[in-house]
Chain A
Amino acid sequence: MTGPDARRTAETVWRMESASVVAVASRVLGDVALGEEIAQDAFVAALEQWPSRGVPPNPAGWLVSTARHLAIDLVRRRSTYARKLAEVGRTVTDARLDGAVEEAGDVDDALDDHIGDDLLRLVFTTCHPVLTTESRVALTLRLLGGLTTTEVARGLLIPEATAGQRISRAKRTLATQGVSFELPRAEEMPERLGSVLEVVYLMFNEGYVATSGPDWARPELCHEAIRLARLLAALLPVEREVLALDALLELQASRLAARADASGAPVPLLDQDRRRWDPLLVRRGTSVLSRALALPGPPTPYLLQASIAACHALAPTAAETDWPQIASLYAALATVSPSPVVELNRAVAVGMAGDPVEGLEIVEALADAPSLRDYPQVPAVRAHLLGLLGRTEEAREAYLVAADLTRNEPEAALLRRRAHESRS
Chain B
Amino acid sequence: MRFVSTLKVSHQPDTPPPASLMEAIAALGMEATRSGALVDVAGLMPVGAGGGRVTLAGGTLTVTDGPFAESKELISYAVYEVRSRDEALEWATRFVRLHQEHWAGWEGEADVQQVFEAPPAP
Contacts and interface: CB of A to CB of B under 8 A. Distances in A.
Partners in one complex: yes
Given A223-B81, A231-B36, A261 B87 contact: no
Interface in A215-243: 223, 226-231, 234-235
A327 B94 CA distance: 47
Interface residues of A, number: 30
Contact of A231 (B27, B34, B89): B34
Interface string B24-63: 0001001101111101100000000000000000000000
Contacts of A8: 86
A375 B101 CA distance: 60
B117 interface: yes
Given A16-B87, A257-B117, A280 B34 contact: no
A280 B37 CA distance: 13
Interface string A1-18: 000000011011101100
Interface string B71-94: 000000001010110110110001
A63 to B, nearest CB: 12
Nearest to A257: B118
B36 A230 contact: yes
Given A15-B87, A16-B90, A261-B120, A280 B36 contact: no
Contacts of A230: 33-36
B121 A262 contact: yes
A9 B90 contact: yes
A29 B34 CA distance: 24
Nearest to A16: B87
Contact of A276 (B79, B81, B89, B121): B121
Contact of A280 (B27, B31, B40, B86): B40
A308 B118 CA distance: 26
B35 A231 contact: yes
A111 B35 CA distance: 13
A228 B34 CA distance: 9
Which of B27, B37, B86, B120 gathers the greatest number of chain A CB atoms within 10 Å? B120
A234 B34 contact: yes
B13 interface: no
A167 B40 CA distance: 34
Interface in B91-105: 94, 97, 101
Interface string A237-258: 0000000000000000000011
Given A15-B83, A223-B83, A231-B36, 13 more contacts: A12-B84, A12-B89, A12-B90, A15-B84, A16-B35, A226-B36, A227-B35, A229-B36, A231-B35, A234-B34, A262-B121, A276-B118, A276-B121
Interface of B: 27, 30-31, 33-37, 39-40, 79, 81, 83-84, 86-87, 89-90, 94, 97, 101, 117-122
